[in-house]
Amino acid sequence: MKKLLFLSLVAFLIVVLAACGGDGDDTAGGDADEVETVGTDLEDATDLTFWTFAGTHADFFASAAERWNEEYPDRAIAFTAETYPFDQMHNNLLLALQSGSGAPDLVDIEIARFPNFLQGDVQLEPLNDLIEGELDNFITERLDIYGKDGNYYGAPTHLGATVVYYNTEIMDEAGVDIDSIVTWDDYIEAGKQVVETTGIPMTTIADGWYGIWPYITQRHSDFFDENGELTLDNDINIETLEFINQMVNEDGIAEMSPGGNYHSEEFYGFMNDGGQASLVIPMFYMKDFTTYMEDLEGKIEIRPMPIWDESDARTVGMGGTGTAVTNQSENVDLAKDFLYFAKLSEEGNIHLWTELGFDPPRWDVWDAPEVREDNIYYQFFHDDIFDILLDIRDDVASVNITEHTPDVLDEIDTNIMHNAIREQSQTPEEALREAADRVRSVMD
Amino acid sequence: MYKNLKVYKWIINLSLTIVCLIALFPLISLIISSFRPSSELIRRGITFNVNISEFSLSNYNYIFVQAPEYWQWYMNSLIISGLTIVLSLFFSSIVGYALAVYNFKGRNLIFLFVLFIIMVPFEILMLPLYQLMVDLQLINTYTSIMLPLIVAPIAVFFFRQYALGLPKELMDAARIDGCTEYGIFFRIMMPLMLPSFAAMAILQGLTSWNNFLWPLLVVRSNDMFTLPIGLASLLTPYGNNYDILIAGSVMTVIPIVILFIFFQRYFVAGLTTGGVKG
Amino acid sequence: MSATSATSKNKQNKLMKFLNSKKVVPYVFVSPFILSFLVLTLYPTIQAFIMSFQRILPGQVTFVGMSNYDRIFNPTFYKALQNTTVYMILTVFILVTVPILLAIFLDSKLTKFKTIFRSALFIPSLTSVIVAGVIFRLVFAESDTAVANQVLGFFGVDAVNWRYNSWSAMFLMVTLASWRWMGVNVLYFLAGLQNIPKELYESAEIDGANVFQKFKNITLPFLKPIIIFVSTISIIAGFRMFEESYVFWETSSPGNIGLTLVGYLYQQGIQQNDMGFGAAIGVVILIIIFVVSLIQLLLTGAFKRSDM
């Protein structure tokens, strides 16, 4: 009897285990969050799943899916967006693409991770047929960063034009007219005046790529050249890092940013309390201002980056997230058409601005009435934001991304900025040369 | 002599109080922070200068009223942890028990396997294990989340240590009475091991409740998230969702505190008998 | 052999007898473990071992011989090894000595509110590392108004950039680990203490032994098995540490001050998409853990006890 009891217990446990799979599926259909699921109630709708690491991007695509279903009822989609933690979303995607199973139809891939997905046999679908007819309308540099061998694999989320956000309250107190700042020398002079009068640093420098990449790119240099050769330790880069070092450690107009980057709890608090007079960062940071730094409303003015000399670019496209279609999608064409609709079309680009506050990578919408309509960003900042962009549109520099970009970014995070600027244990030249050697050893 | 005792008494109670305050400090500050508006937290961090007048229940209001997904994650975690406790106690105890009371070929080898599982870095198993789950079609199921925890090496180790201390004479007596080997375990030895079950219930519940890396690999949809994953998904490079994160974290700790207070007497008692034979 | 004489000879009974034999029973009991070990540990470990000789890209898996292993022993790896070793030694030391002391205190007749103290010590281990990380980042923030720096300021010490100095980085990791695991280890030792016959202390007192003599001659020897158990687990956990570093710096810490062996594995294998190299690092970590635990168990004489 007891053996029977034991065996039936084991059997019971196996049934319980097997039943759990069913449990999961039930809940999946049941109380899914309505915000992130669109069109599941439509008949004949095709399932599309989307992974992202930013809740706002999930909302953006969900609202695009609603518009799509109204416009193309015959090609309706049942859209599901899943928001994962940043690191883990990329890891899961890597494992799913590697093992050939489990990847979504559409996925957001952050720029620093994108090169990982362009190695080996690329498991993403080229988007060339969607874009090629309209290349003139794009700031094409922003398409190149998600490309390889002439194929475009990612739909950009924003131009990421780097600008300077000035805190006018502090600048006024110091008696500096921000429109008089044209060159970086002007910027340093203004910085000295700010520090002298107010005791507040002109800016802060991040320990990561924000502290170097925009500056070298502005001077048409980069970590890699167009051919993928490492240029991390070239003369312009050394000179530029010396310039950063001068701002922080000689002129004393800049400090290292609290928390080490511009997205930490500490930094938001610091900036919000008027901790620094200006911040060099791409346009997409507007959203952070409106979300975390409410006290600065009406006090921030946006201006183009200062330059070293006339040949420098007026702005640089930085950061970014490319949305890609994976080859595991069962409806590649539908996924691509939807991606075009949501993010690459004129209408999609307008929504990038109105919903996310991002500067659209298509410049032909910068004049569109929908873009010029009043919204929270115009209220928080000022209303000529896109005039500034249109003014510098022909002069946007962008970055070259290779499969070893993640190695360089890691060197910047761990060694270059720390040793050369924060600790000063190495000169900028030493730090860059040593880091370049390490990256070269990986590249061989 | 008595004077000495008084001094000792003071030293002991005072130092324990201090250590406990340090231990509890981060949690207390978390609870306090959960009543502060998140913008205030970002502005000032965790700090001693707390302004009581700014306290509000808005964060809790948010997770209770506006965040249905949070409660879905909560349910998932409760179900998964509950099942994991029951299943892993059963499977780990029979293994530990067998290793302790029977003499059989391969016993030491199996014990070595137990130690091996504790040693191997999980990170290198990620890809092969993921592939396995894909092949078994278990992706995005509770089963795949629980599977690696069900035979838990530390629990096996512990049950073995505990069972070593059980009186073997009882087994012989039971055999003479016609009890089968399974009967001996389920009717005689298992009740004797109850304290160790309580102890492992806490440890297994804890492990499962806080498990992060593995569930993340095998869940595919937001409504299958467990609490730690859900909370981590609120921390993003494009803005953190502190309202729900901090208040949500407080709510996360509560069930295991209850579980612990419920079982802790057994826990100490359970370790006692097991420990001697270490 | 243990069954009473069978009265019926039918098949089912034979099966039952077979299943009930003392030779078979233990295998029935351990079979779920064997199955799970083979499927969930051994099989993937072998796979990982094979991967360590490969370069793995989607659709392009190639054997590259020993080249992954050739690349391992570089300065970054040694930095990670150094950090991990220091971390392991510190945590093993702190998480063995302090819990013993606390356990003795908790066990003392002189202690009041035992349950409250016990719960308070155990509660931190209930907190997930994600949550603990958020709290610790805010407590040890750079600003002067963050709690840790406020405390320093109270003693007249300058604010510290906790996450940017090598010593404070180690301090953060060890503190986080100690905070989380202290209570669990206290409970292990507490249990060990319950097994010491009280009469031993009484007779020692009659002989005039003082507190320290009693501790050295009675308490420590009785606690030895538990000490071995706790230190073994702590050594392994120390070498496998990753989370305590990840919550402060994710995978890239300034000057690699927070880089651990498993962190290096994660960074290279997963983040930089070099899974073959990651697997090779994993194999090396496994060998290190295996050798160190083995030496530790031999030195402490754990193998002399047949039942350890």
Inter-residue contact C239 to C261 (CB < 8 Å): yes
Closest CA to A405 of A209, A238, A223, A282: A223
DSSP letter (8 states) at residue B223: G
A54 touches chain B (CB under 8 A): yes
**Structural domain total, chain B:** 2
Residue whose token pair is 């994953």: B229
Helix (H, G, I), strand (E, B) or coil at C21: coil
Q: How confident is the model at residue C308 (pLDDT cuts 50, 70, 90)?
A: very low
Same domain, B160 and B235: yes
Distance between CA atoms of A125 and A327, rounded to whole angstroms?
6
Using CB atoms, pick whichever of C30, C135, C190 lies closest to residue B268.
C190
Res B3: pLDDT? 67
Q: What is the DSSP string of C236-302?
A: HHHHT--HHHHHHHTT--GGGTT--HHHHHIIIIIIT--HHHHHHHHHHHHHHHHHHHHHHHHHTTG
Residues C152-164 have a mean pLDDT of: 87
User: Is B271 a residue whose pLDDT tops 70?
Assistant: no
Whether A20 sits inside 8 A of B141 (CB atoms) is yes
Same domain, B41 and B139: no
Chain A closest-CA separation from residue B201 CA (Å): 18
Residues B162-188 have a mean pLDDT of: 83
Q: How confident is the model at residue B43 (pLDDT cuts 50, 70, 90)?
A: low
User: Is B44 a residue whose pLDDT tops 70?
Assistant: no
User: How much is the mean pLDDT over chain C?
Assistant: 85
**Which strand ranges, in their side-by-side order, compose the sheet holding A162-167?**
A278-282, A162-167, A300-304
A292 touches chain B (CB under 8 A): yes
Same domain, B214 and B88: yes
> Is residue A11 one of the residues assigned to a domain?
no
Residue-wise pLDDT for A258-272, tens only, equals 888 898 777 888 899
Same domain, A327 and A410: no
Closest CA to B277 of C191, A306, A403: C191
Q: Is B123 left (phi over 0), alpha (psi -120 to 50) or beta?
A: alpha
Residue-wise pLDDT for B116-128, tens only, equals 888 888 877 877 8
Tokens of B125: 């198993």
Q: How confident is the model at residue B198 (pLDDT cuts 50, 70, 90)?
A: confident
Same domain, B85 and B117: yes
User: Is C260 a residue whose pLDDT tops 80?
Assistant: yes
Same domain, A276 and A207: yes
User: Is C241 a residue whose pLDDT tops 60?
Assistant: yes
Tokens of B249: 């974290």
Angle between helices C220-239 and C275-299 (to 10 degrees): 170
Same domain, A340 and A275: no
Report CA Rg, chain A: 24
Res A34: pLDDT? 34
User: Is B78 a residue whose pLDDT tops 70?
Assistant: yes
CATH number for the domain harbouring residue A43: 3.40.190.10
Same domain, A254 and A121: no
Same domain, A241 and A353: no
Residue-wise pLDDT for A367-414, tens only, equals 999 999 988 899 999 988 999 999 988 888 989 988 899 889 999 989
Q: Give the least confident one: B96-100, C168-172, C303-307.
A: C303-307
Nearest 5°: phi and psi at A115?
-55, -30
**Structural domain total, chain A:** 2
Looking at chain A, which subunits does it touch, using at least 3 CB pairs closer than 8 Å as the criterion? B, C
Chain B closest-CA separation from residue A81 CA (Å): 8
Q: Which residue of B220, B235, B243, B246 to mutate against A (max A Cβ within 10 Å)? A: B220
Q: Which residue of B81, B189, B238 to mutate against A (max A Cβ within 10 Å)? A: B238
Res B237: pLDDT? 56
Chain C closest-CA separation from residue A258 CA (Å): 6
Chain C closest-CA separation from residue A55 CA (Å): 19
Distance between CA atoms of A268 and A293, rounded to whole angstroms?
7
Res A29: pLDDT? 31
DSSP letter (8 states) at residue B35: T
Residue-wise pLDDT for C18-48, tens only, equals 777 778 889 999 998 999 999 999 999 999 9
Inter-residue contact B228 to B80 (CB < 8 Å): no
Res A333: pLDDT? 95
Q: Which residues contact C79 (CB under 8 A, 6 or more apart)?
A: C256, C259
Res A40: pLDDT? 74
Q: Is the dihedral of CA C8, C9, C11, C14 positive or negative?
A: positive
**Residue C188 burial (CB count, 10 A):** 23
Q: Give the least confident one: A439-443, C20-24, C192-196, C292-296.
A: C192-196
B262 touches chain C (CB under 8 A): no
Chain A closest-CA separation from residue B85 CA (Å): 13
Same domain, B83 and B52: no
Residues A325-334 have a mean pLDDT of: 95
Helix (H, G, I), strand (E, B) or coil at B37: coil
Same domain, B20 and B71: no
Angle between helices B68-101 and C25-36 (to 10 degrees): 140
Q: Could you tell me the residue range of the domain that residue B3 belongs to?
A: 1-56
> Is residue A393 one of the residues assigned to a domain?
no
Tokens of A229: 């050769």
Whether B113 sits inside 8 A of C41 (CB atoms) is yes
Nearest 5°: phi and psi at C200?
-60, -45
Boundary (domain end) residue, out of B13, B35, B56: B56
Strands A396-397 and A315-316: parallel
* Highest mean predicted confidence (pLDDT) among A21-30, B173-182, C52-61, C81-90: C81-90
Domain spans, chain C: 11-51, 72-304
Q: Which residue of A82, A272, A293, A321 to mutate against B (max B Cβ within 10 Å)? A: A82
Residue-wise pLDDT for B131-148, tens only, equals 888 888 888 889 888 888
Same domain, B51 and B74: no
Chain A, chain C: beta-carbon pairs less than 8 Å apart: 80
Res A258: pLDDT? 85
Nearest residue in chain A measured CA to CA from B43: A269
**Residue B207 burial (CB count, 10 A):** 18
Same domain, B110 and B219: yes
User: Is A305 a residue whose pLDDT tops 80?
Assistant: yes
CATH no. for C72-304? 1.10.3720.10
Residues C13-18 have a mean pLDDT of: 76
Residues C12-19 have a mean pLDDT of: 75
Res B166: pLDDT? 75
User: Is A253 a residue whose pLDDT tops 90?
Assistant: yes
CATH number for the domain harbouring residue B269: 1.10.3720.10
User: How much is the mean pLDDT over chain B?
Assistant: 80
Whether B142 sits inside 8 A of A266 (CB atoms) is no
DSSP letter (8 states) at residue B104: -
Same domain, B5 and B89: no
User: C270 vs A182, which has greater pLDDT?
Assistant: A182
Chain A closest-CA separation from residue C178 CA (Å): 24
Res C207: pLDDT? 87
Res C9: pLDDT? 56
Nearest 5°: phi and psi at A155?
-95, 120
Same domain, B133 and B266: yes
A378 touches chain B (CB under 8 A): no
Residue-wise pLDDT for C170-180, tens only, equals 999 999 999 98
Distance between CA atoms of A95 and A92, rounded to whole angstroms?
5
Q: Which residue of A414, A434, A439 to mutate against C (max C Cβ within 10 Å)? A: A414
User: A23 vs C302, which has greater pLDDT?
Assistant: C302
User: C36 vs A55, which has greater pLDDT?
Assistant: C36
Res A248: pLDDT? 95
Using CB atoms, pick whichever of A113, A266, A423 lies closest to residue C143.
A266
Tokens of A222: 């980069």
Nearest 5°: phi and psi at A323?
-90, 130
Distance between CA atoms of B56 and C36, rounded to whole angstroms?
49
Distance between CA atoms of A83 and A18, rounded to whole angstroms?
27
Q: Could you tell me the residue range of the domain that residue A78 belongs to?
A: 34-159+319-380
Q: Is the dihedral of CA A244, A246, A249, A251 positive or negative?
A: negative
Res B240: pLDDT? 61
Res A365: pLDDT? 93
Res A361: pLDDT? 92
- Per CB-CB distance under 8 Å, the chain C contacts of A97 are 58
Strands A162-167 and A300-304: antiparallel
Same domain, A184 and A267: yes
Q: Is the pTM of this model over 0.90?
A: no
Residues A102-121 have a mean pLDDT of: 91
Residue-wise pLDDT for B210-252, tens only, equals 888 788 888 888 788 888 888 877 766 555 667 677 788 888 8
**Which strand ranges, in their side-by-side order, compose the sheet holding A155-156?**
A37-38, A77-83, A46-52, A106-110, A321-325, A155-156
Residues A306-318 have a mean pLDDT of: 92
Nearest residue in chain A measured CA to CA from C55: A120
- Report the 3 state secondary structure along chain A: CHHHHHHHHHHHHHHHHHHHHHHHHHHHHCCCCHHHEECCCCCCCEEEEEEECCHHHHHHHHHHHHHHHHHCHHHCEEEEEEECCHHHHHHHHHHHHHHCCCCCCEEEEECCCHHHHHCCCCCECCCHHHHHHHHHHECCHHHHCCEECCEECCEECCCCEEEEEEEHHHHHHHCCCHHHCCEHHHHHHHHHHHHHHHCCCCEEECCCHHHCHHHHHHCCCCCECCCCCECCCCHHHHHHHHHHHHHHHHCCCEEECHHHCCCCHHHHHHHHCCCCCEEEEEHHHHHHHHHHCHHHCCCEEEEECCECCCCCCCEEECCCEEEEEECCCCCHHHHHHHHHHHHHCHHHHHHHHHHHCCCCCEHHHCCCHHHHCCCHHHHHCCCCHHHHHHHHHHHEECCCCCCCHHHHHHHHHHHHHHHHHHCCCCCHHHHHHHHHHHHHHHHC
Residues A171-199 have a mean pLDDT of: 95
Same domain, A222 and A188: yes
Same domain, B207 and B269: yes
Residues A45-59 have a mean pLDDT of: 90
Nearest 5°: phi and psi at A316?
-130, 140
- Per CB-CB distance under 8 Å, the chain C contacts of B80 are none
Same domain, A216 and A299: yes
Distance between CA atoms of A398 and A382, rounded to whole angstroms?
26
Q: Give the least confident one: A143-157, A316-330, C264-278.
A: C264-278
- Per CB-CB distance under 8 Å, the chain C contacts of A91 are 270-271
